Amino acid sequence: MSSEPETSGGTGGVDETDDRTLTTLGGAGDTAEVPLKVSGLEKHFGGITAVDGVEFEIDKGSMTGLIGPNGAGKSTTFNCITGTHKPDGGRVEFNGQDITGLEPYQVADRGLVRTFQIARELGEMTVLENMMVAPKHQRGEALWRSVLPYARNSVNQQEQEILERAWETLEFFDIDHLANEYAENLSGGQRKLLELARALLTDPQMLLLDEPFAGVNPSLEERLLEHIHELRDQGYTFLIVEHDMDLIMENCEKVIVMHQGRILTEGTPEDVRNNEDVIEAYLGGEV
Model pTM?
0.76
pLDDT of 241 reads 92
What is the CATH class of 32-121+203-287? alpha beta
> How many Å apart are CA 265 and CA 156, to the nearest integer?
51
One-letter amino acid of 69: P
Question: Taking each helix axis from N to C terminus, what angle separates 149-172 and 188-200, rounded to the nearest 10 degrees?
Answer: 130
Residues in the chain, overall count: 287
> How many Å apart are CA 254 and CA 273, to the nearest integer?
11
pLDDT of 117 reads 60
> How many Å apart are CA 152 and CA 143, to the nearest integer?
10
Within 10 A of 26 (CB to CB), how many other CB atoms are there?
11
Closest CA to 59 of 277, 268, 226, 273: 268
- The string of pLDDT tens digits covering residues 130-169 is 888 766 554 444 444 455 555 555 556 657 777 888 888 8
> CB–CB of 211/42 below 8 Å?
no
pLDDT of 87 reads 97
Pick from 29-33, 242-246, 268-272: least confident = 29-33
**Residue spans per domain, the chain:** 32-121+203-287, 124-185
- The string of pLDDT tens digits covering residues 222-258 is 888 988 999 999 999 999 998 888 899 999 999 999 9
Closest CA to 142 of 132, 133, 151: 151
